[in-house]
Amino acid sequence: MIETRGRKDLIEQGNKRIKLALNFLADEVYTNRQILKEVTAITSSQGVGGFIKRLEKLGFAREINLPSVEEPNKSYKIIGITSQGMAETNHLDRRGFEISKLKHSQLLHKFLCQQIHLQAIKQNHKYISGRWLTDEWFGGKNVKRPDAIIITQDNQKIAIEAERTIKSKYRYQQIIVQYLKMIKANQITKVRYVMPDQAKAQMVEKAIKSIKSVTVSTNGQKRQFNLTDDVWRWFEFVSLQI
């Protein structure tokens, strides 16, 4: 009797892990083994390997080896959700993983976004990947696409910018203007820049806050808009090392 109950618990745990993995992959489309371990709370490399084989056997996902273009002599085991896996999560309108659509140069940025996604899950926040954010979602056309939107339990909509490298001053000016318009239209509550470490977070914050003004176009009229402390309260700069 005890053995039967133990087997039942293991089956329930396995099914729960499949659901967690598919819900994550339905949003992200693909991930790596380390992140999948964190999503499912599987502690060993052998365990996650067996779990991936089960997903493949069920037809929900497939694993490929992918060389890194940013890190020489390194490759990733990429786990991508299939169209059958998407259907299992009731996302019938979403395509499964296609290697031809994968951008090798953006892998590390993608994995940073997924670490942010993991944090949101742990905090019981809703996370929506930028790839699924449409004009209709924002209620307006030609809206800037953040890397993701986090919806907190008190219904704040936080635009996420995952930043691994510092952009030019001109590019940051463009981004600030776009986000200020979105905040004014109540499409988002604030902007959160997330960097891999504290040093990078400080560098990005310094680069952005060195901008004293931006040019805003309203009804065809251009005017200078000063960036004061009242503006910066809508922007956060944090690292994953918190």
Choosing from 77, 102, 127, the residue where a domain stops is 102
Instruction: Pick 12 or 69 by higher pLDDT.
Output: 12
Q: What pLDDT is attached to residue 1?
A: 36
Q: What is the span of the domain harbouring residue 73?
A: 1-102
Mean pLDDT, rounded, for 49-65: 96
How far apart (Å, rounded) are the C-alpha atoms in residues 147 and 149?
7
For the stretch 74-120, pLDDT in tens is 888 999 999 999 999 999 989 999 988 888 888 889 999 999 999 99
Same domain, 37 and 86: yes
From residue 228, how far is each of 105, 172, 213, 232, 234 by CA, in Å?
A: 36, 16, 9, 7, 11
The pLDDT tens digits for 141-168 are 666 789 999 999 999 999 999 999 999 9
Q: Is 30 in the same domain as 46?
A: yes
Q: Tell me the pLDDT band of 131, cut-offs 50, 70 and 90.
A: confident
Which of 102, 124, 140 is the endpoint of a domain? Answer: 102
Say what the pLDDT of residue 143 is: 67
User: Do 140 and 93 share a structural domain?
Assistant: no
Considering the domain architecture, whether residues 109 and 77 belong to the same structural domain is answered as no
CATH code of the domain covering residue 75: 1.10.10.10
Beta bridge partners of residue 126, listed in sequence order: 151
Give the chain as a DSSP string: -HHHHHHHHHHHHHHHHHHHHHHHHHHHSEEEHHHHHHHHT---HHHHHHHHHHHHHHTSEEEEEEE-SSSTT-EEEEEEE-HHHHHHTT-TTS----GGG--GGGHHHHHHHHHHHHHHHHTT-EEEEGGG--HHHHTSSS----SEEEE-TT--EEEEEE-SS---HHHHHHHHHHHHHHHHTTS-SEEEEEESSHHHHHHHHHHHHT--EEEEEETTEEEEEE--HHHHTTEEEEES--
Q: What is the pTM of this model?
A: 0.85
CA count, 13 A, side-chain hemisphere, 161: 23
pLDDT surpassing 90 at residue 40: yes
Does the pLDDT at position 241 exceed 70? no
